[in-house]
Amino acid sequence: MTIVVGYLPAKGGRASLDLAASLAGSGLAEPVAVVTVVPQHWTTPSMAKVDAEFAAWAHEQGEAALARARQYLADKWPAAEVSFHQAHGRSVPSALTRACEDLSGDLLVLGSSTDGRVGQIIVGSTATPLLHSSEVPIAIAPRGYRAPKGSRLGRLTCSFSGTEDDADLLTATAQLSARMGCPLRVVTFGVRGRTMYPPEVGLHAEDDVLQQWREQVQAAQSSAIAHLGDLDLLPASTTTAIATGSSWAEAIDEVEWVAEEILVVGSSRVGHLARVFLGSGAIKIVRYSPVPVLVVPASVAADLAEAVEAEPSIDGADPDAG
């Protein structure tokens, strides 16, 4: 597995470096490939040799960016196994997609746009198309994110709604939690709308509906936790929570967040199954998250869950064999 980092010095570059190094140092021990995208020169030669001059300038800009990344990682994350690469393209998302393919990347790490406030995830022009087309999970760091030197992940929180897709996502998250040796938390977020019931229904009708929803969520969480126990993937420190509010921001603020936490969100099956596609609720969770977010395509979560389910029979031992 290789962690590919899209490093753009002017667009949260250090945040993406810190997140990637923290992930690599949290029990994954994967190599990190830092990729900076430089403008692609015209393929048709110019009689004035302008294309050669432009190519040389673009290469120098790329090397200067990589030198900054190399120095930052050497000073703060000296133990990380890192390689540095230039990717050429007129589209940054397309260049990063090709880089993931060329480097056999299994995870793409990005920083946030600089158009929002510090501490918030801002999905900018680079992340937006990738969240609709990437075939590998994408981790996004909030603007200004910094991980303490040599730190490890403190907890993985899985956004769980109780659907089949989220069952696969939870299994994949639990496997990652066990691999990293960090606690697991299962959280269901809900937004409580304005009361729309007529007076004859009663003023507490919405409270009754909310209570029924909570009971259904608790049952779904308990069933999912029991399934993780059956798979021997349940960390002793696993916790659950249900967070509601009048808005997504309020619901997310209702739960406590620890240092070096990552929120794991799954994609929707709408559109191309193999690619990331965030529903309206998921994209709002991403935008209001105070911690880095890992977005996992439904197909990747399903493949990981299927592999976990098949593990007991890997050694060829058939429990039904007489």
- Given this model, what pLDDT does residue 195 score? 47
Query: What's the predicted TM-score (pTM) here?
Result: 0.85
- Given this model, what pLDDT does residue 287 score? 87
* Domain 1-150, CATH class in plain words: alpha beta
- Return residue ranges of the chain for CATH 3.40.50.620: 1-150, 153-312
Amino acid at 74: A
**89-121 pLDDT tens trace:** 888 999 999 999 999 999 999 998 887 788 888
* Domain 153-312, CATH class in plain words: alpha beta
Centre a 10 Å sphere on the Cβ of residue 115 and count the other Cβ atoms it contains. 11
- Given this model, what pLDDT does residue 44 score? 53
Burial (CB < 10 A; 0-12, 13-18, 19+), residue 314, is exposed
For the chain, give the mean pLDDT: 83
**184-243 pLDDT tens trace:** 999 999 887 654 445 554 556 667 777 888 899 999 999 999 999 999 988 888 999 999
